[in-house]
Amino acid sequence: MWRVAVVGSGFIGSTIASVLASRGCDVDAIDVNERLIAAFLRGDHPIKEPGLGELSDEQMACGRLRFSCDFSRVANADVILLTVGTPLADDFTPNVSHIRSAIESIAPHVRDNQLVMVKSTVPPGTTRTLVAEPLRQAADVRVAFSPERLAEGAAIRELASLPIVVGGMDARSSAAAEAFWRETLGVDVIVVSSPEAAEMVKLANNLWIDLNIALAHELAKLCDALPYDLDVLEVIAGANSLKKGQHYVNILTPSNGVGGYCLTKDPWFVHTLGAAHGTELLTPQISRTVNAGMPAYCAAQIAQWARRQDRALSNLRLAVLGLAFKTNSGDIRLTPVMPLLDALHSEGFRTITIHDPMVRKEDADDSGVELNSSMDDTLRDADGVIFLVGHDDFKALSPERIASLAAPGALVFDGRRYFTRAEIAELQTLGLAYKGVGR
């Protein structure tokens, strides 16, 4: 049985800790945030991720998972996973202060032969200089980097199925990291030649995703601008049927924007890294600029429809479905819905009711957003029904149900619900207007 300490029990840390416990590991999940730890211990499910609350409760109850603020617990572990946050500083540079302070807290407790594995997204060189060098003064530890690549909303499934990349400081560190993931999660492990290569893998993945989505967004804008009845999803599906080399073209889907803790910052990590080493990189700036512009673009599309109605925008009632940044997730960190709400206000809309069953009321309150807990009340008599995320509850909402609740002739704006073409036709037959992103 592997004994594991997870340092940083936020979204990634608590997910990994719970999944590893469910695979038979003995896990200590540690955090500096006492409020967060108390919430886990009370069974309050402070991290909204499908299945996570139940899994952590179950693992705590059977004694394999413990949450605490006690860093001395790392002394008992075979493997110490570092999953603290790495936010973006105001000047768009990576803020690695949480890594530094976590290392200071665990250094007095590390022992020879433990494996310390960094999961937080960091600039290349961080594992070597901020983790391996200071810790190896304290003990003969093995050190590796292993990027976390799971996506929120499907975290538990992805953690147990995605291949894992590891890059150790030396052969014995890589071998220990590889053995750990193979034995605990049973997934494919790809060993790269250094921690820096593994650190770069994560940045390459997120730059690719952000840039690919930017491409989808620009194709969508072009479909909107051309004087033909184009559906960007149909165009993308057609384009994706082409095989290039070993793989198919894989253009992702456009939406009302990109949010969350990773894609909004990691391309900037890449950009500042290039700048720090005298290389100007253009793709991160392009992906960030295009994607950050989508909320205002969508608000302008909604306003364009509204101006064609014979009523002041301030008198139109909008029902916004979705505050989370991602489908089937309750995470609102850097959600594109916030700038979209601001842009709707700037366009002149005044009555906006917001519903999101996945988001905790406390989190919405902290962001100054008042949620309406009833989907029906939110939709009733709305002049515009604005879908900004594709939660299962929203997908289950049929055209008839929308038409029975919303005002006659209301706009259905599809930021991320992705109505099928048959459903769009049905909405129109029911007298509603439809506008999607690029459709």
Does position 13 interact with ligand NAD (CB under 6 A)? The reply is yes
Q: CA–CA separation, 54 vs 195, rounded Å?
A: 34
Torsion, CA 239, CA 241, CA 245, CA 247, rounded to 10: 110
Does position 83 interact with ligand NAD (CB under 6 A)? The reply is yes
Q: Which of 419, 93, 142 is nearest to 276 (CA)?
A: 93
Length of the chain: 439
Does position 98 interact with ligand NAD (CB under 6 A)? The reply is yes
What's 213-243 look like in SS3? HHHHHHHHHHHHHCCCCCCHHHHHHHHCCCE
CB of 346 closer than 8 Å to CB of 301: no
Instruction: Tell me the one-letter amino acid at 285.
Output: Q
| Closer residue to ligand NAD, CB minimum distance, 76 or 105 | 105
Give helix 283-292 / helix 294-307 axis angle, nearest 10°.
Answer: 30
The neighbour count for residue 253, using CB atoms within 10 Å, is: 18
Which residues, including other chains, have CB under 8 Å from residue 135's CB and lie 6 or more apart?
Answer: 103, 106, 107, 110, 116, 141, 143
Considering only 94-102, 108-116, 222-230, 245-253, which stretch makes contact with ligand NAD by CB under 6 A? 94-102
| Closer residue to ligand NAD, CB minimum distance, 202 or 435 | 202
| DSSP β-bridge partners for residue 317 | 351
| Closer residue to ligand NAD, CB minimum distance, 8 or 167 | 8
| Closer residue to ligand NAD, CB minimum distance, 153 or 384 | 153
Considering only 96-104, 128-136, 336-344, 389-397, which stretch makes contact with ligand NAD by CB under 6 A? 96-104
Does position 32 interact with ligand NAD (CB under 6 A)? The reply is yes
| Closer residue to ligand NAD, CB minimum distance, 236 or 262 | 262
- Smallest distance from ligand NAD to CB 179, Å: 22
Q: Which of 26, 31, 224, 414 binds ligand NAD (CB under 6 A)?
A: 31
Q: Which of 6, 200, 262, 323 binds ligand NAD (CB under 6 A)?
A: 262
Binding-site size for ligand NAD (CB under 6 A) equals 26
DSSP-based three-state secondary structure for 373: coil
- Smallest distance from ligand NAD to CB 80, Å: 11
Q: Which of 27, 65, 102, 211 binds ligand NAD (CB under 6 A)?
A: 102
Q: Which of residues 120-149 bind ligand NAD (CB under 6 A)?
A: 120-121, 148
DSSP-based three-state secondary structure for 210: helix
Does position 101 interact with ligand NAD (CB under 6 A)? The reply is yes
Does position 86 interact with ligand NAD (CB under 6 A)? The reply is yes
| Closer residue to ligand NAD, CB minimum distance, 153 or 438 | 153
Q: What is the largest CA-CA distance in the chain?
A: 74
Does position 9 interact with ligand NAD (CB under 6 A)? The reply is yes
Triad 136, 197, 205: Cα angle to 5°: 125
Neighbour order of strands in the sheet with 351-355? 351-355, 317-321, 384-387, 411-414, 433-436
- Smallest distance from ligand NAD to CB 308, Å: 39
Binding site for ligand NAD (CB under 6 A): 7-13, 31-33, 36, 83-86, 98, 101-102, 105, 120-121, 148, 150, 152, 261-262
